[in-house]
Amino acid sequence: MHRVTCSRCGTAVQVSKNSAAQTSIQWDVDSSACPLRAELSVGDSCPALSDSIRDAVLAGELEVQTSDL
């Protein structure tokens, strides 16, 4: 897992990706740390965090890699 910090609110979460379309996000802080969380339904990912994850991939900070489960 790689730590990605949301560029909007600064909340950091653990992220891994095994392909462009696959994403795994493990929060280790309370999700109420995300100011958008309250407005989103439980199943929705935060769009700002999703943007930050995409940026981390483009910047080469988050590597898309296979991992054995």
Partner 1 sequence: MTEVRMIEASAVSERFARGWHLLGLTREYDDGVPHSVEAFGTKLVIWKAASGELNVLDAYCRHMGGDLSQGSIQGENVACPFHSWRWGGDGKCKEIPYARRIPPRARTRAWQTLVVDGQLFVWHDPEGNPPPEDVTIPAIEGFDSGEWTDWVWDRTLVPSSHCREVIDNMVDMAHFYYIHKGLPTYFKNVFEGHVCTQYFSGTTHELAATGEPIEIGVAEDQPTVSDATYWGPSYLVDKLWTKYGDMTFETILITCHYPITNNSFMLNYGMIMKKNPDFDDATNDMIATKMLASIGSGFMEDVKIWKNKARIDNPLLCEEDGPVYQLRRWYEQFYVDVADIAPEMVQRFEFEIDTTKAVDFWQKELVEKAAAKKAAAEA
Would you tell me which residues interact with partner 1 (CB under 8 A)?
A: 18-28, 30-31, 42-43, 45, 66, 69
Q: Are 14 and 25 in contact (CB under 8 A)?
A: yes
CB of 16 to partner 1, least distance (A): 10
What token pair was written down for 14?
Answer: 């653990």
CB of 46 to partner 1, least distance (A): 9
> Rounded to an integer, what distance in angstroms lies between the CA atom of residue 49 and that of residue 2?
14
User: Which is closer to partner 1, CB of 7 or CB of 18?
Assistant: 18
> Rounded to an integer, what distance in angstroms lies between the CA atom of residue 21 and that of residue 64?
10
User: Which is closer to partner 1, CB of 10 or CB of 43?
Assistant: 43
CB of 60 to partner 1, least distance (A): 20
What token pair was written down for 36?
Answer: 């958008």
